[in-house]
Amino acid sequence: MEFLPIFLNISGRPCLVVGGGEVAARKIEMLCGAGARVRVVSPALCSGVSQQVEQGSVEYHAGTFSESDLEGCELVIAATDDAAVNRQVAELARSRRIPVNVVDDPELGSFIVPSIIDRSPVVAAVSTGGRSPVLARLVRARLETLIPAAYGRLADLAARWRERVQARFSNSAERKAFWEQVLGGAVAEMVFSGQEELAEKALEKALSGDEAAIARTGAVYLVGAGPGDPDLLTFRALRLMQQADVVVYDRLVSPQVMSLVRRDAELVYVGKERDKHTLPQEQINDLLVKLAKQGKRVVRLKGGDPFVFGRGGEEIETLSAEGVPFQVVPGITAAAGCAAYSGIPLTHRDFSQTLNLVTGHLKDGTTNLNWPALAQPNQTTVFYMGLKGLPIICAELIRHGLPEQTPIALVQKGTTPQQKVFIGTLGTMPALVEGATIKPPTLIIVGEVVRLHDKLAWFDPEAGVGQPRNPSAEQTAEAREASRAGD
């Protein structure tokens, strides 16, 4: 280990920054964030540092560096673009045994500034010893995805209960086991989801005599898996998927997303295909309750978003009635994902000022919708689960006033390598689909915004997920013109 990792308490302490450019501005912001009293010495300042001076957060001495600037300082950062000045600062600071950092020249200084993951009071630091700051930032970025933003609140909870836990468990090994259970289990997830009152009650119950209460506390997490591309998962969704004991999933969750689930988790497939349910909804509700009451962490993984035609509301009604802890993790709904990957803006100031999200079939299996409201101009209507009812959808929209030439798109397996987009009109789409092999899941988009598909489509499944399709120069120019007035 070339450097000793330490954390300095510089709150209220005088610190010096030599330099007034953009690099210095970042160091000043970091020092101010730690509560330091910052003095800046530089002949000139960039706009960022000038703003900090104007706000009164730093003291500014205009001019070049001199040894007297070190008087009273407890930490120094040299951040000029003059190597000779940086060397002078470093030598004088080290002669006075003042910790000094020289930006981009770690050998001159006595300490280096790492890449920081800030979840105050929890702080993690990553360093490559100055060899590759970019690599350190990449590692930090990876850790950022793994450490919930609410870790600081979890640390505060632990601090509030520390003395009581010490009083309850005199044995250090017992205290350690208790905190490992708390900080890595259901109580932590309660804090992460903003349910701190429930977390406090769980701790109270455990300390009042039922030591195994936390271990027996199960929970259900309704997680939106998005439309298919695993890169569209949220950080929280991925974290819960990788720590679940049981994953209850349906057919709309893509294999690519399922591959990210914890490998030793129990997988329960519940189907949910139209008119062909592996488990009826009521049995799914009961299953979630049963598994949670066994003390298991259950992820109910749903395609898209749990609250957009995902029956998430029905499931948490049962969980709430049974007193089972739960949280809902939103996902990118199919309308947003499929439209974006198809180059079809859902809203556009020239074409559509209203957006409707509609299910293609109701609970009783019909397609009895409010057709007069859906057949209005200057709006976009997205039909979920509408493949079977497509002929009725087109016919009813025409019958209630939309022109037969109204554009319509059918997106098959959107955001995945199997994505296909079928473009037609209300008058032609039924025949087009009848002559093609359509594989669910599908999404239907109706409205003038569909006309932008040819100009704005960027996703080419044949080139791999996330690869642009390289439109022609003419298409690019047309797309810029078409979208100039857009959002």
> Of 332, 356, 333, 361, which Cα lies nearest the Cα of 346?
356
Strand order in the sheet with 266-269: 266-269, 246-249, 297-302, 219-224, 326-329
> Of 40, 1, 5, which Cα lies nearest the Cα of 21?
40
Provide the pairing of β-strand 354-359 with 75-78.
unpaired
Distances (CA, A) of 314 to 226, 283, 318, 386: 19, 12, 7, 21
Q: Do 426 and 446 contact (CB within 8 A), yes or no? A: yes
The response to whether 123 counts as a known ligand-binding position is: no
- The amino acid sitting at 478 is E
What would the DSSP string read from start to end of 404-417? Answer: TT-EEEEEESTTST
Helices (H), ranges, 251-360: 255-258, 281-293, 312-321, 334-342
Segment (H or E) for 482: helix 473-483
The verdict on whether 272 is a catalytic residue reads yes
In the chain, the N- to C-terminal Cα span, in Å, equals 52
Distances (CA, A) of 457 to 18, 80, 294, 337, 448: 50, 46, 48, 13, 15
Cα separation, 45 vs 32, whole angstroms: 17
Beta strand spans in 262-387 (E): 266-269, 297-302, 326-329, 354-359, 379-384
The response to whether 118 counts as a known ligand-binding position is: no
The response to whether 446 counts as a known ligand-binding position is: no
| Catalytic, out of 27, 69, 229, 250 | 250
The response to whether 43 counts as a known ligand-binding position is: yes
| Catalytic, out of 27, 272, 302, 413 | 272
The response to whether 373 counts as a known ligand-binding position is: no
The response to whether 187 counts as a known ligand-binding position is: no
The response to whether 209 counts as a known ligand-binding position is: no
DSSP state of 18: E
Q: Do 468 and 459 contact (CB within 8 A), yes or no? A: yes
Residues in the chain: 487
Q: Do 281 and 275 contact (CB within 8 A), yes or no? A: no
Cβ neighbours around 147 below 10 Å, total: 15
CA atoms within 13 A on the CB side of 156: 10
The response to whether 128 counts as a known ligand-binding position is: no
Q: Is the dihedral of CA 21, 27, 32, 37 positive or negative?
A: negative
The response to whether 305 counts as a known ligand-binding position is: yes
What would the DSSP string read from start to end of 222-258? Answer: EEE-BSS-GGGS-HHHHHHHTT-SEEEE-TTS-HHHH
The response to whether 89 counts as a known ligand-binding position is: no
Phi-psi region of 19 (alpha: psi -120 to 50; beta: other; left: phi over 0): left
The response to whether 389 counts as a known ligand-binding position is: no
Tokens coding 136: 């350190």
Q: Which residues are annotated as a binding site for S-adenosyl-L-methionine?
A: 227, 303-305, 308, 333-334, 385, 414
Q: Which residues are annotated as a binding site for NAD(+)?
A: 22-23, 43-44
Q: Which residues are annotated as a binding site?
A: 22-23, 43-44, 227, 303-305, 308, 333-334, 385, 414
For the annotated catalytic residues, the residue numbers are: 250, 272
